[in-house]
Chains A and B, each alone.
Chain A
């Protein structure tokens, strides 16, 4: 029995399909969800979601969110999510550089701004990481 998997972020459906295994970065560590898992509700960390189906593996980056697990379905309400294959490495690298430079130029006094920059940095690091790890042989785009 496959698991019906849905990944949605606030502005779109990121993934919808059947899977045999879903790996999630839960707050207390990575967990693998197999069919007939007990109902579970948990929050997510920054990390990578792996959706394994018979024919293919899909990888997604996720920046926090909520997961609801039922025996035959997994619903992921992501704060932000992206298919790793869609990641543009050069853009992510540029974003990372921008964030690093902003932090180097001096830590802003405004805590909100600081958190924003930090979140941007974490996000871009994660995306670069994921893209490098899961899309082998893909050339960097100019």
Chain B
């Protein structure tokens, strides 16, 4: 049995802990809200952008229109962009995305390189001996499109240079507060039919007419397609951030709950021990008094 003082200390430290986790929970809750807002705000733009892309895909010979749309016959190298968080205390958020990514790519016969967004994911990949080609950390909370364009540009450049034949993005899709799913999507070469489906029914224009391009076709596609790739990266980051904050919020709520529970149990033990001590003392006094009275009478 620990002493009363030790128990008091323990109860106090657990109460402090619960307070800290509660504060973290509140902070994450407000961040989730902001991140979800940011995800929703980009939705109209993304929908329209996909509509344009689907129209482009209908153009005759679209597979040859642009290198970023052309599937390569042989895949000799794969690049994976993985989104994780900079900070821990987010439950299994980082572990899940890393496990999901490795399950898919660790046994791959083709060499795989990684670009990581977020420190935690980078560290975990390096520990497992993966080749990390570049890493981005300290991404602003709710970043702007411009903040992330470098990530997309890097992916596109390594594809165009030939240092990767396929580029994937691995991130955690935010479904709701309690459900976040790790997802892997192909970024380049762009598979318009598949990707537009995952982006939810896009209503397209019925016309199949051939586009005119201004200034010219290749210049225009050079402008448009990398932009859409960057847009996908941007959305992945926003969704990953929302997931991170939601995961942290839930895990902090669990921590707060268990700390409170533990605190209550300890408090109960402490009270019992205290009452026991008082009872014992009472018995001692009563016993002493009795003995005294008996000796007087005797």
Contacts and interface: CB of A to CB of B under 8 A. Distances in A.
A10 B42 contact: yes
Given A6-B48, A10-B42, A12-B44, A39 B220 contact: no
Contact of A75 (B42, B51, B234): B51
- Which residue, of A28, A42, A71, has the highest number of chain B Cβ atoms within 10 A? A42
Interface in B26-54: 38, 41-42, 44-45, 48-49, 51-52
B224 A66 contact: yes
Interface string B132-169: 00000000000001000000000000000000000000
B207 A71 contact: yes
A26 interface: yes
Binding site secondary structure of chain B? helix
A42 B45 contact: no
B45 A10 contact: yes
A39 B49 contact: no
A77 B52 CA distance: 10
B41 A68 contact: no
Nearest to B205: A70
Given A10-B145, A66-B227, A41 B44 contact: no
Contacts of A70: 55, 205, 207, 209
Contacts of A28: 214-215
A75 B52 contact: yes
Given A11-B41, A27-B215, A41 B220 contact: yes
Nearest to B206: A70
Interface size for chain A: under 10, 10 to 19, 20 to 34, or 35 or more residues? 20 to 34
Contact of A40 (B38, B44, B212, B224): B212
A27 B214 contact: yes
A107 interface: no
A41 B211 CA distance: 6
Contacts of B205: 70, 73
Contact of A8 (B44, B215, B224): B44
Interface string A1-38: 00000101111110000000000001110000000001
Contacts of B44: 8, 12-13
Binding site secondary structure of chain A? strand
Contacts of B215: 27-28, 42
B294 interface: no
Given A10-B42, A68-B55, A77-B48, A38 B212 contact: yes
Contacts of A9: 45
B9 interface: no
A48 B145 CA distance: 22
A12 B207 contact: no
A43 interface: yes
Interface string A38-56: 1111110000000000000
Contacts of B220: 41-43
Contacts of A8: 44-45, 48
Interface of A: 6, 8-13, 26-28, 38-43, 66, 68, 70-71, 73, 75, 77
In the complex, the 5 A-B pairs of residues with the closest C-beta atoms, listed nearest first: A42-B214, A11-B41, A39-B209, A8-B45, A68-B52
23 contacts: A6-B48, A8-B44, A9-B45, A10-B41, A10-B42, A10-B231, A11-B38, A11-B41, A27-B214, A38-B209, A39-B211, A40-B211, A41-B214, A41-B220, A42-B213, A42-B220, A43-B220, A66-B224, A68-B52, A70-B55, A70-B209, A75-B51, A77-B49
Given A11-B41, A43-B220, A75-B51, 11 more contacts: A11-B42, A27-B214, A28-B214, A39-B210, A40-B211, A41-B212, A41-B220, A42-B213, A66-B52, A70-B209, A77-B48
